Amino acid sequence: MSSSKSEAMLIDGKAIAQELTESLVHQVTQLKQKNITPGLAVVLVGEDPASQVYVRNKGKMAEKIGLHSVQFSLPAITSEADILKRIEALNEDPAIHGILVQLPLPDHIDSAKVLRLIRPEKDVDGFHPVNVGLLAAGLNGQALIPCTPAGCVILAKRHRGEDLSGLEAVIIGRSNIVGKPVAQLLLQENCTTTIVHSRTKNLAQHIGRADILVACLGRARFVKGDWIKPGATIIDVGINRIDAPEKGPGKTRLVGDVDFDNALSIAGAITPVPGGVGPMTIAMLMQNVVTAAQRFSKQ
């Protein structure tokens, strides 16, 4: 008698992001009735190809939902002083509700200094120390929340339902951009939250307890299938390019931080790479621009 294991549900980030953007179109229309068009300014410094793709995608999405979107593409040799001047001008511009500086910046520019200069109420990436502090204090209604972590929680709820209380959440990675903020958000959802990282002992043991696993460490297929708790919800934030000889010489493909093929027969649900977390990040960025404009309209 042969018994076949059922495969994990695929959590379709593209489809969920599409639903979100449809609701944003409606919110933008309401703001335009009050003579406010949400405005996003993106500052791109240098020629990093991945950054250029991200910025292009953000611009397309902004246009689609009816935002006023401007992009400043500056050469890599631009001085820190010139970038700070540009940020100050955007801070003062009433037509701009959200400012995004695409990272990484060239080495001669102090990223922390640039990000700190953006007004917290226009910081749509959620990286300003004020927004970080508001999130840590659980004052999400006053903060702008980092986009990828906010998207991760929505994706987890698609499989687990709105109430995540009591679930074990394990986050692999402790970056300020994803690991720490997603831990804060899951804590606020009443999960029992653990952050593990490169120095954690008995890593597989911690991962094996996770009802919700968020992998954001940036190492291709690091999490093995047999580490995963059967039925777990896996949110794979990793975007790693690996060789793909099967597609031809010199070809590559994208994979996540989780060994997808092996996880598929064990997990309850998993986000694919690409097409999982990525589209949600851009949708949440647009949400932050609209939220910033809504708060501005109430002032």
**DSSP state for residue 257 in the 8-state scheme:** S
Strand partners, 72: 43
Question: Which pair of tokens denotes residue 126?
Answer: 């959620």
Picking from 87, 38, 86, the residue whose alpha carbon sits closest to that of residue 63 is 38
Query: Is 102 marked active-site?
Result: yes
CB 227 within 8 A of CB 204: yes
CA distance 12 to 273: 10
Query: Is 58 marked active-site?
Result: yes
CA distance 205 to 186: 20
Catalytic residue among 102, 122, 184, 257: 102
β-pairing verdict for 240-243 and 252-255: antiparallel
3-state secondary structure of 173: coil
CA distance 52 to 104: 11
Question: Which pair of tokens denotes residue 74?
Answer: 């500056």
Picking from 276, 295, 278, 293, the residue whose alpha carbon sits closest to that of residue 13 is 276
Tell me the residue ranges of DSSP E strands in 119-261: 168-172, 192-196, 212-215, 233-236, 240-243, 252-255
Catalytic residue among 58, 122, 180, 229: 58
Catalytic residue among 123, 125, 211, 236: 125
Query: Is 243 marked active-site?
Result: no
Q: Give the DSSP H or E segment for 49.
A: helix 49-65
Active site residues: 58, 102, 125
